[in-house]
Amino acid sequence: MGIEARLKELGLELPSAATPMANYVPAVRSGNLVFLSGHGPLEKDRLIVGKLGSDLTVEEGYRAARLVAIGLLGSLQALIGDLGKVRRIVKLLGLVNCESTFKEQPQVINGASDLLVEVFGDKGKHARSAVGTNSLPLDIAVEIEMIVEVEG
């Protein structure tokens, strides 16, 4: 099954490439690698904001991370044209806006990881870091950046 068909089967519609908040671009290709800038959780033109452990539950954070992965795929598609060119999702760096006592960052970032495996199968399995932080831009709940290997 092609990636477009898989996205449709999952009921996913990819957004356009993210609009940068400052002096950077959403994605850069260098050889066969694509480096995607940090993306935040956007749902119907509304950012999901707040801290995990006080404002948001793990389930809400998981959902936010899933939305970030959808946004990352939109930016990737805008750059390379066809997600069928993806050879492998190489690495994610997931940042979770959370209270100092919050310890479930991996469960939150699983929202993105699980989606990438749903879409790409084994090619979606990746190396990953899930880090807690006391603040993210605009108080977003989650920020994720991604590295992807694509066909030449």
**For 131, phi and psi rounded to 5 degrees?**
-125, 140
Higher-pLDDT residue of 152 and 35 is 35
Determine the pLDDT at residue 14.
95
What's the average model confidence in pLDDT over 55-59?
98
Determine the pLDDT at residue 19.
85
Band (pLDDT 50/70/90 cuts) for residue 71 is very high
CB-side neighbour CA atoms (13 Å) of 103: 1
Determine the pLDDT at residue 18.
82
Determine the pLDDT at residue 105.
98
What's the average model confidence in pLDDT over 5-32?
93
Residue ranges of alpha helices (H) inside 1-152 are 3-9, 58-80, 105-120
Torsion of CA 59, 60, 62, 66, to 10 degrees: 140
Instruction: Please list, in sequence order, all residues whose beta carbon lies within 8 angstroms of the beta carbon of residue 43, skipping any fewer than 6 positions away.
Output: 67
Q: What is the pTM of this model?
A: 0.96
Helix, strand, or coil here: 32?
A: coil
Q: Which of 14-18, 47-51, 100-104 bottoms out in mean pLDDT, i.e. has the lowest?
A: 14-18
Determine the pLDDT at residue 138.
97
Average pLDDT, the chain: 96
